[in-house]
Chains A and B, each alone.
Chain A
Amino acid sequence: MKVNKNIHIPHLGRVEGHGGIEIDIKDGEPIKVNLDIYEGSRFYEVLVLGKYYYEVPSIISRVCAICSASHTLAAQMAIENAFGVEVSKRTEFLRGLLIHGGMIESHSLHLAALVLPDLLGYDGVLNMAKDYPKEVSIALELKKLGNTLQELIGGRAIHPINALIGGFGKVPTKQELLSLKNSLSKGLEHALILVDLFKTFKISDYAESPTIYAALEPRDKTRYSFLGDYIITSLNERFPKEEFRKICHEGVVKHSHAKQSLYSGKPFMTGALARINLNGEKYLQGKAKEIQEQLLPNLPSQNILHNNTAQMIELIHSIERALQLVDLIINEGLEPEDLAEFEVHAGKGVGALEAPRGTLYHYYEIDDEGKIVEADIVTPTAQNLANCEKDLRVSIENLINEPKEYLEFKLEIVARAYDPCISCAVHLVKLNKS
């Protein structure tokens, strides 16, 4: 019998922002698979036009709360890139620490509060807490660790105020850093308990399909990192971050307030799984390496549900690297330091980093007075939307004969695996009109 179904999940729960899924199946074929994005538009690229360069990071941070540290740093790095600013070693370490804080917070929030309820059969973390108090309190502790880190380095857990163009407003004291180290060590123990829980889950493969992956190549080619100057892909290509438009060819689609990215006409994936697939075997070290070998021994994986597993591995990596960074920062000394000096002149700059959900690109063109004349922001979720629709299509094909409610649940899980950040996706990139 040929299957006809209309599936409409009007409001995806447990994701950041407002989005839904709409699917029409006719004669057993999915004829329409739309990830609807209906978060309102805030037109950030227009908002920053005419603003002074120094106002941009704190405006653009408001694109998204969960990714606010990533947006702030990407904007600062893009502006520094335009003016040719060199920051101190210590500033680089502090920024690294801030990125790891964001990663720990975001990954643990997603894994524990948004994904774990699916795996254990609850509608949300608050109800799950009644039966799994220990796991939930561990997850909350980890989330808190990420926030403590962002609060200490960024001056605020959401929308950091202490990270500035050229450096930091205030440097933490030795005592604060040592107490952070203590919390990080405890956090590592907690995260390993969560790993043990994740080991018990069997990850389904109904969404598995061939995928192109893209990530930044670690700048320091000795270890896994979220900073880099080259984009690499699973098609064995490598090009400088300044050429990011090559991969993020954005277009408008009717069902969405977010644009979609295609790479040579094909969808691609960025994010934890892309990073682990491209850089994991080569660069992971320590416990993170061990966990990768246990949880994801056969890389690359083409199963989006492994994105959650990849986040788990990165959570361990971020805690381990943050521990190292604390020592490196203390070794650099904690004396107050002036912001890096630079001259304001007309220029263009690109800032790129690996945000929790994938590679984030910021581009600004600045005039002689230091005012923004063009801005372009390409977020990971916008890059992933087309690929997510592809995975939803594959899942429908594999589960076509399942009851509607079951199918809906399984499709929500696929969308959630991307950890979509819908506020980010609807930042709205300026169209390249040429």
Chain B
Amino acid sequence: MNKPKVGIYGLTSCAGDQLVILNCEDELLKIASRLDIIDWVMAQSKNDETTPLDVALVEGVVAQQRDIDLLKKVRNRAKLVIAIGTCACFGGVAAMKNQIPREVMKAEVYGDNIDFIDSVKAQPIGSFIKVDYRLPGCPIEKDQLIQMISSLCMGDLPEILNIPVCMECKMRENACLVVEKGVVCCGSLTVAGCNARCPSHNVPCSGCHGPIEETHYDANVLMFKQAGLTRKDIEQKMSMFSTPAWMQEKLMEEIKDESK
């Protein structure tokens, strides 16, 4: 079987998801032997920028015209485009204040002389191109990455995980931070995959993997209310990593209704 030709790209980002690939120390050489990574600027200096790709992994948020151009070029070259990380999937922290016009932000940071700064509203890659699979996480989890690469080598994509962090948290037998301590924990609204990392360190989930597709809205609303939490508390906490996605969530409406 031919090795899949792969390109790995970073748009505007912290490079954390590409770093997770480099952090697969035990598996990196095996991964390199199963894939034909022909274009990866972060890790190699000679890159093939034209050959068609079987798979493109794209990290980061679209925050400038340059990102849009690269993204479209990648889409045209690749059979499959996979969003890696919460920025590419949902917008990430950079999309937190999209209500503020870019011109205002530019002036705030760079002063008056701002014409040369290339900047557009921060958006996930799905706003510009068709995305074939999303692997969220800030950063992505190594185990999920390796599972995905294994599936790709078999000509397949992994199943989409649609369980909340709470499920993994219960499996680890942690005490519930919302019920026991009344703190804002986003575990019930956030897609799993991290093995409940934060709650297992006594730290509430901040929703860095992005929203779960379906959730028990009524039960969530009831639980948050009983813990004395308001819509504002939850909205504030959840808006950190995936504002565009969270804001469309039915849940916000439900909580709003409840608080009427």
Contact = CB atoms under 8 A, between A and B. Distances in A.
Interface of A: 11, 13-18, 38-43, 45-47, 55, 58-59, 62-66, 68, 109, 113, 117, 123-127, 129, 136-137, 140-141, 143-144, 147, 155-159, 161-162, 164, 169-170, 252, 254, 257, 259, 412, 423, 428-431, 433
Interface in B92-121: 92-94, 96-97, 100, 105-106, 108-111, 113, 116-119
Contact of B41 (A13, A257, A412): A13
Contact of B93 (A42, A170, A412): A42
30 contacts: A13-B42, A15-B42, A38-B118, A40-B63, A40-B66, A42-B94, A42-B122, A46-B108, A46-B109, A47-B94, A58-B206, A62-B14, A65-B17, A66-B19, A113-B22, A124-B44, A124-B46, A126-B28, A140-B25, A141-B25, A147-B25, A158-B19, A158-B139, A161-B201, A164-B203, A169-B203, A170-B201, A428-B110, A431-B109, A431-B111
B204 to A, nearest CB: 10
Contact of A40 (B12, B15, B43, B44): B12
Contacts of B25: 140-141, 143-144, 147
Contact of A161 (B43, B96, B110, B198): B198
A74 B147 CA distance: 35
Main secondary structure of the interface of B (DSSP, over half): loop
B244 interface: no
A14 B11 contact: no
Contacts of A159: 16, 138-139, 208
Contacts of A259: 110
A294 B15 CA distance: 35
B201 A43 contact: no
Contacts of B13: 423
B23 A157 contact: yes
A123 B14 CA distance: 23
B37 interface: yes
Given A40-B11, A40-B66, A430-B109, A124 B43 contact: yes
A405 B97 CA distance: 44
B11 to A, nearest CB: 7
